[in-house]
Amino acid sequence: MSDRPTAPPRSGPVFEIVVEAGDWPEQFALEPLVGEALGAAAAEVKVQPGASVTLLFSDDETIRGLNDRFRGKDKPTNVLSFPVLSGTVPPDEPAPLGDIALAFETVSRESAAEGKSFDHHLAHLIVHGFLHLLGYDHESSHEAEEMEDLEGRILERLAIADPYT
């Protein structure tokens, strides 16, 4: 994976990786990419020190089930975000931000179809999912523009081309 995004070491959220299904690399191989993507995002947005994120690396079948159950869309998608509800953690403790779930087949298919490196596309989706955990969205054109601009700045830190240009 020579096209792995690179960025100077940054303090970002604490993260846990769960590789459940799909042809994902081993957990230890995903850790640098996840750490760099979350670190670059944390450098652009305010994140409470000690905040945590869990990333589920799975397959289309699992993500399709989650997408159907939680969004009413019976199809796989590339990334899903599940923010922790506010008020579930005492205010003086670092909060778990939530969970990000990714589908291997969809991520792989999209990166090939768009002529992007798998690692770059994956890093973008991790950043995208992370921003959703922080409350960013793209339901309106204004929200989409704000989120896409922020994603572009974060990806620039990782030397990844802006996918929206």
pLDDT in tens, 5-51: 433 344 678 899 999 998 999 999 999 999 999 999 999 998 887 88
Q: State the pLDDT at residue 1.
A: 39
Nearest 10 degrees: CA dihedral of 69, 74, 79, 80?
Answer: -20
Strands 52-58 and 14-19: parallel
- 99 in a domain, yes or no? yes
Q: Which amino acid is at 116?
A: K
- Indicate whether 53 pLDDT > 50: yes
Instruction: Give the least confident one: 9-18, 110-119, 155-164.
Output: 9-18
Q: State the pLDDT at residue 122.
A: 96
Overall domain count for the chain? 1
- Indicate whether 81 pLDDT > 70: yes
| 119-147 burial: b if 16+ Cβ within 10 Å, else e | bbbbbbbbbbbbbbbbebebeeeeeeeeb
- 41 in a domain, yes or no? yes
- Indicate whether 141 pLDDT > 90: no
- 39 in a domain, yes or no? yes
- Note down the domain range covering 106: 14-157
Query: What's 95's domain CATH number?
Result: 3.40.390.30
Helices and strands: H and E segment counts in the chain: 5, 4
Q: State the pLDDT at residue 87.
A: 60
Distance CA 78, CA 64 (A): 10
Mean pLDDT of 60-69: 94
- 130 in a domain, yes or no? yes
- 3 in a domain, yes or no? no
The pLDDT confidence band at residue 2, using thresholds 50, 70 and 90, is very low
- 1 in a domain, yes or no? no
- 5 in a domain, yes or no? no
The DSSP code for 57 is E
CA proximity to 106, closest of 63, 149, 139, 138:
63
